[in-house]
């Protein structure tokens, strides 16, 4: 199993550009989520999904969109990048967090917005 | 609002020492607690998960305990090695938002040879 994979590993954007961060998992997990990690703020939930076709907002959703057309993939879209979105983005998956499922994290995407 | 605190923020120990990392949380209504390891520039690796009904979990040289009533968890690392150097994060799982994790700020551990 590859686990949770994320692409790209690094990205530099200019203010106003859009892009999609890719996340895929091969563990047949229903639950997937996106976090951002910032110094002094820790990890915060952006969006999550409890299954294909179902998504919802987390703690800091503004400026981001998600969709879940398959169980495996959960892309995160930045609509119009802003310097405040400079961060490290992690995707995570779990078979059932509330039933004791561990959450597995990808290696992260390091994004800089100029 | 659930808050998770980890003390100390940084810890440096000589190789071979046993050590304890602390995690506290303000609301005992959690589903479980996880300890993660994060190496510089890398993702998070799940080390141990303790269900809310459990008191402890063990994996190799690692032992994690949970006291829900007092809002505390500890991660015990036995016979520390330089390869244990990393940031250790604890996180509690809440019922809302499908299983949202609330993270502490982490303890940065350095084990000196």
The string of DSSP letters for A2-22 reads --EEEE-SEEEE-TT--EEEE
| A64-86 CB burial, b ≥16 within 10 A, e <16 | bebbbeebbebbbebeebeeebb
Distance CA B101, CA B96 (A): 10
- Burial of residue A47 (CB within 10 Å: 0-12, 13-18, 19+) is buried
| Two tokens, residue A15 | 């203010």
Tokens standing for residue A112: 């800089």
**Residue A13 vs residues A8, A84, A113, B45, B94: alpha-carbon distances, Å:** 12, 12, 5, 28, 34
Give pLDDT tens digits for A36-66: 999 888 899 999 999 999 999 999 999 999 9
Determine the average pLDDT of the residues in B22-32. Answer: 93
Interface with chain B: mutation pick from A105, A106, A109, A110, highest number of B CBs within 10 Å = A105
Is A103's CB within 8 Å of B99's CB?
yes
What pLDDT is stored for residue B99 in this prediction?
83
How far apart (Å, rounded) are the C-alpha atoms in residues B78 and B62?
7
Tokens of A85: 């979105």
Q: Which residues on A lie below 8 Å from B34 (Cβ)?
A: 102-103
From A60's Cα to the closest Cα of chain B, the distance in A is 12
Give chain A's mean pLDDT.
Answer: 95
Residues of A (19-58) whose Cβ lies below 8 Å from B: 31, 33, 35, 40, 42-43, 45, 48-50, 56, 58
Q: What residue of B is the nearest CA neighbor of A30? A: B98
Residue, of B45 and A1, whose pLDDT is higher: B45
pLDDT at B95 exceeding the cut of 80: no
CA B105 to chain centre: 10
DSSP bridge pairs for B101: B93
The pLDDT of residue A41 is 87
Q: Which residues of chain A have a CB within 8 Å of the CB of B97?
A: 45, 48, 56, 58
CA distance A56 to A95: 17
Residues 6+ away with beta carbon under 8 Å from A52: A68, A69, A70, A71
* Facing B97 at nearest CB: one of A42, A45, A100: A45
Output the average pLDDT for chain B.
Answer: 94
């Amino acid at each position: 199993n590859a686990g949770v994979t994320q692409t790209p590993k690094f990205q530099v954007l200019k203010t106003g550009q859009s892009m999609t961060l890719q996340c895929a998992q091969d563990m047949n997990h229903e639950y997937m989520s996106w976090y951002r990690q910032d110094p002094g703020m820790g990890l915060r939930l952006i969006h999550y999904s409890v299954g294909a076709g179902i998504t919802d907002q987390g703690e800091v959703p503004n400026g981001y969109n998600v969709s879940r057309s398959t169980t495996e993939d959960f892309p995160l879209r930045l609509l119009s990048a802003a310097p405040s979105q400079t961060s490290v983005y992690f995707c995570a998956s779990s078979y059932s967090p509330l039933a004791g499922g561990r959450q597995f994290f990808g290696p992260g995407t390091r994004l800089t917005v100029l | 609002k659930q808050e998770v605190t980890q003390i100390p923020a940084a810890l440096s120990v000589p190789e071979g020492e046993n050590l304890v990392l602390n995690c506290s949380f303000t609301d005992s209504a959690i589903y479980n607690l996880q300890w993660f390891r994060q190496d510089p520039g890398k993702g998070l690796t799940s080390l141990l998960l303790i269900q809310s009904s459990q008191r402890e979990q063990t994996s190799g040289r690692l032992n994690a305990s949970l006291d829900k009533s007092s809002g505390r968890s500890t991660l015990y690392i036995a016979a520390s090695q330089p390869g244990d150097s990393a940031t250790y994060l604890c996180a509690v799982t809440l019922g809302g938002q499908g299983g949202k994790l609330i993270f502490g700020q982490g303890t940065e551990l350095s084990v000196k040879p």
